[in-house]
Chain A
Amino acid sequence: GENVEQHPSTLSVQEGDSAVIKCTYSDSASNYFPWYKQELGKRPQLIIDIRSNVGEKKDQRIAVTLNKTAKHFSLHITETQPEDSAVYFCAAIRGGADGLTFGKGTHLIIQP
């Protein structure tokens, strides 16, 4: 089955700086890669996603890049703000009815 590795497990950045979280996946058949933000005690919320036929996608301060050859994808957050503090999860899905395979998460801490 699919395996998703996520790094780092904890990331501390100064407010206003950029943050980058990286994930790798094992199954070359995976074709959809969402990123979720989860605040303490809350449900995961989709923040951005990318399909396998796209190399990069941007939404305001958030961007995701995908390298299919290397089987890795990354989340980039620019101009970080205190409200960006949360746990971020990457995920991958092969298609069909399959559920998502999640990474273990990155705890992003924004230092004032």
Chain B
Amino acid sequence: QKEVEQNSGPLSVPEGAIASLNCTYSDRGSQSFFWYRQYSGKSPELIMFIYSNGDKEDGRFTAQLNKASQYVSLLIRDSQPSDSATYLCAVNEMDSGNTPLVFGKGTRLSVIA
């Protein structure tokens, strides 16, 4: 059973701080990794994806991947109250024809003004 684990939170950070969200996965063969943001009552929206070891930056967001440790993280710099949401980590196994992503249960982030 492939598993993706996230701390459910809530993770509370002050406005302007760095929020660090973590995710571990069980399938060592996983190839690509995704971070989704979901506001309450809304559908998930893709923030970033990463498939190479190391860091990938997009604006205030940085995804970090360590395949040896089976660990992926999302850093949010200069956190804003509008970043308050649930963040879902999702993992794709080796490319085998559009097999479904496996999602974690999400971490709830609260940015305090």
Physical interaction between A and B: no
Chain A contacts to B: CB under 8 angstroms: none
